[in-house]
Amino acid sequence: MKKTLFDKIWEKHIVREVQDDLYVLYIDKHLIHEVTSPQAFASLEKRGLKVLRPQQILATADHNVPTTDQDLPIKDDLSAKQVALLTENCKKHGIELFGLGHPYQGIVHVIGPELGITQPGMTIVCGDSHTSTHGAFGTVAFGIGTSEVEMVLATQCLLQTKPRQMRIEVNGTLSSGVTAKDVILYIISQLGTGGATGHFVEYSGNTIRTLSMEGRMTVCNMSIEMGARGGLIAPDEITFNYLEGKPFAPKGHEWEKAKNKWSFLTTDDGAHFDKIYHFQAENIPPMVTYGTHPGMGIPVDVAVPFLNSTGQEASGEGLEKALNYMGLQSGQFMSGIPVQHVFIGSCTNARVEDFRLAASVVKGKKKHDRIRALIVPGSQQVAKQLSEEGLDKIFEEAGFVIRQPGCSACLAMNGDTIPSGEYCVSTSNRNFEGRQGNGARTILASPLTAALACITGEISDIRSYPFTHINN
Amino acid sequence: MNPINIIQSTFVPLPIENVDTDQIIPARFLKSSEKEGFGTHLFNDWRYLPDGTPNPDFVLNKSKYSGEILVAGKNFGCGSSREHAAWALAGQGFRAVVSSYFADIFQNNALNNGLLPVQVTQPFLQEIFAQKSESTLTINLYDCWIQIDKTGSRCQFPISSYKQECLLNGFSDIDYLISMESEIEAYEKNTRATA
């Protein structure tokens, strides 16, 4: 029988078939962080259970950590307690922790891949919905709740229903100024915020194939924003080149063996998908969101939809509520809207390539007076790369301060918030009401569009702004 | 986990689509390391005005609406995987949430906390929203149906027989998984051997 890549990985990890479509699934790698793990450890201890496979777990502190003065004690008592609990739990159970001050600390979905912990063919879970990011390496990776974190701690397994499968194929050449972020914002705007619910998505097509690993991670990362259980991309030479030499990647003979094994991780021709979508790269423009969920995205040069328009995401009460919250009106053009804040960061767009893109735009320019920018590298390793490549100087000369790694203003748990009623162009993944602070108005965009807003002080179309790409 | 079998109650209508978990419980309330205490912050930023007083326009602050069942628009619970959303709903006293569909992770989190997600058709959802506030609903988990008591109109809802049994008996997945210890070890051994 023809199988999808997802089928192949899933089947290899079945410990028991409980009943039709319900399986006990083995988890290769479990990533944990300070916000969704404390209750799991507490409950585990209450049951008198141990962590079954501590060596298959990796911990970091990212969601609730300050992005300044990380060497000093955390000022917020509750945040300090969460981080301290993580440290204590890891120590007690023998789990490796890349906590604050560690050279490998960073956003959980940035460090897994960059350290070579994320490897093709694996099952990976984390108490965070953006675990789908790791699918860029040809893994079955998905977010779980805290009860499930406890199950994996105790048994290295989960009871899961096998999702339906969707293929999203993108072919053609992306226009100048259009990035992986625009590709996924475009796809979500077409499918809707619940369009892939119950499905696991495989991205394919020559546009996806030519994306860098950073770009593929951006695409897979936002799979959850259309409701998908996860997203994945078959590994190829780009994947192998990225992983080779990474600290936790196999070495020498083991590397060759692994690469050979991974090269079989593909979908068979003619394998069944429940839904298939095709998109053409040439039709994808730079995208921005105008509403309060990621499906409410439009090309940067297009007007905000009308209440009576027939688009999937542009109708009825939801749109009216969203526009009221955003302080926008139907028919209004997004480009030209003055913004007060820019956030370049998050598990979606805080890798070195994202900062190269942003630096390409700000190089030799000065930050607009109005703009307060949060430039937050995804990890200590990314921060180190910024300085090695001199990108930090470019940002500093343009008037920016680079923060220390963490999730920061993506979910605004750590005090990096956007004030009520103000606009923030953000490279993160969610524009929900209050996501970046109570009353904050988030406009999702690519690192290019976000960087351009830093300079112009408003939403602008990157296609009419000349810049030279900074390459590695 | 407390068993569920039949729930009969008035309901709280929230006819909003795509209610994300950031609305159910905003991130700034996730700093607690306990499972309790989230109920008071359920729908915090819709429920309270910026000065902290109750927003009189929000359904939870209207005395005519109460009950153990929340009825919401499609795609309820999208976004973040935070189980705090299920804890907050349970903390407020809800035992079931009705919608035309749920986000996957929220659905699992709800089931793992004995909060029953009841998926109904879009027309049935509209039928519920059309009911008066004193109207009651009955949810029968033995036979997997939900009924509008006044009209007798019913809708079947899907649930796996495994999950149904768990909820009826108050069993958790973790008990099932722990009972499989030797099978899990055998799987690991076998996988290593063939790697």
Q: Which residues contact A253 (CB under 8 A, 6 or more apart)?
A: none
What pLDDT was estimated at residue A312? 47
Q: What domains are there in chain B, each with its CATH number? A: 6-170 (3.20.19.10)
Q: Walk across the sheet containing A230-232 and list its strands.
A: A230-232, A199-204, A164-171, A275-280
Does residue A144 belong to the interface with chain B, where contact is any CB pair within 8 Å?
A: yes
CA distances from A446 to A177, A300, A462, B26, B54 (A): 9, 11, 10, 25, 38
* Average of per-residue pLDDT values in chain A: 96
- Rounded to whole angstroms, the Cα distance separating A45 from A354 reads 41
Assess whether pLDDT exceeds 50 at residue A103.
yes
Best probe of the A interface among B14, B18, B23, B190, by most A CBs < 10 A, is: B18
β-pair partners for A166: A201, A275
* Average of per-residue pLDDT values in chain B: 96
- What is the rounded end-to-end Cα distance, in angstroms, of chain B? 39
Q: Which residues contact A146 (CB under 8 A, 6 or more apart)?
A: A36, A37, A39, A40, A127, B35, B83, B109
Name every chain B residue with its beta carbon within 8 A of the beta carbon of A121: none
Phi, psi for A140 (deg, rounded to 5): -95, 100
Strands A297-299 and A341-344: unpaired
Confidence of residue A317 (pLDDT cuts 50, 70, 90): low
Tens of pLDDT, residue by residue over A28-48, are 999 999 999 999 999 999 999
- Rounded to whole angstroms, the Cα distance separating A185 from A206 reads 18
Question: What ipTM score was computed for the predicted complex, to two decimals?
Answer: 0.97
Q: Nearest CA of chain B to the CA of A405: how many Å?
A: 18
What pLDDT was estimated at residue A363? 97
Assess whether pLDDT exceeds 80 at residue A313.
no
- Asked if the Cβ–Cβ distance from A411 to B27 is below 8 Å, we say yes
Q: What domains are there in chain A, each with its CATH number? A: 5-275 (3.30.499.10), 303-464 (3.30.499.10)
Tens of pLDDT, residue by residue over B136-154, are 999 999 999 999 999 999 9
Tens of pLDDT, residue by residue over A177-214, are 999 999 999 999 999 999 999 999 999 999 999 999 99
Assess whether pLDDT exceeds 80 at residue A465.
yes
DSSP label at residue A333: B
Interface of B with A in 50-79 (CB under 8 A): 50, 74-75, 78-79
- Rounded to whole angstroms, the Cα distance separating A34 from A98 reads 11
| Identity of residue A50 | K
Q: Which residues contact B51 (CB under 8 A, 6 or more apart)?
A: none
CA distances from A7 to A2, A182, A357, A460, B58 (A): 9, 29, 36, 43, 45
Say if CB B42 and CB B89 are below 8 A apart.
Answer: yes
Could you give the 3-state DSSP secondary structure of residue A67? coil
Name every chain B residue with its beta carbon within 8 A of the beta carbon of A434: 22-23, 26, 45
Say if CB B32 and CB B88 are below 8 A apart.
Answer: no
Q: Which residues contact B188 (CB under 8 A, 6 or more apart)?
A: A26, A156
Tens of pLDDT, residue by residue over B54-63, are 999 999 999 9
- Rounded to whole angstroms, the Cα distance separating B93 from B11 reads 11
Assess whether pLDDT exceeds 70 at residue A309.
no
How is residue A14 written in tokens? 């079945």
How is residue B188 written in tokens? 């690991």
